[in-house]
Amino acid sequence: MKRKKYSFEFKCEVVKQALEEQSLGSVARRHQLSSLTIYRWISEYKQGKYNVVVNSKQSTL
């Protein structure tokens, strides 16, 4: 079974939602993704891979 590929734009949107909402579980359920996948994308975002503007009061992910 092949892994599903997600577009760069989709990843950016999911990362933005996860960082702004501070509720990774709800974002994962909404998009039918694994929480681990979102954690990996957030890690890549913090390394500078994604150019996302995040309006977050507390960004602790």
| Residue 59 within a domain | no
Quick one: pLDDT band at residue 61, thresholds 50, 70, 90? very low
| Residue 60 within a domain | no
Residue 44, token pair as written in the block = 């890549």
pLDDT surpassing 80 at residue 60: no
Structural domain including 15 reads 8-46
| Residue 19 within a domain | yes
Report pLDDT digits (tens) over 5-59: 999 999 999 999 999 987 899 999 999 999 999 999 999 999 988 776 666 554 4
Residue 8, token pair as written in the block = 């760069």
Residue 48, token pair as written in the block = 């500078």
């990843």: which residue's tokens? 11
Measured CA to CA in angstroms, residue 48 lies from 27, 42, 45, 61 at distances of: 21, 10, 5, 15
Q: What is the number of domains present in the chain?
A: 1
| Residue 54 within a domain | no
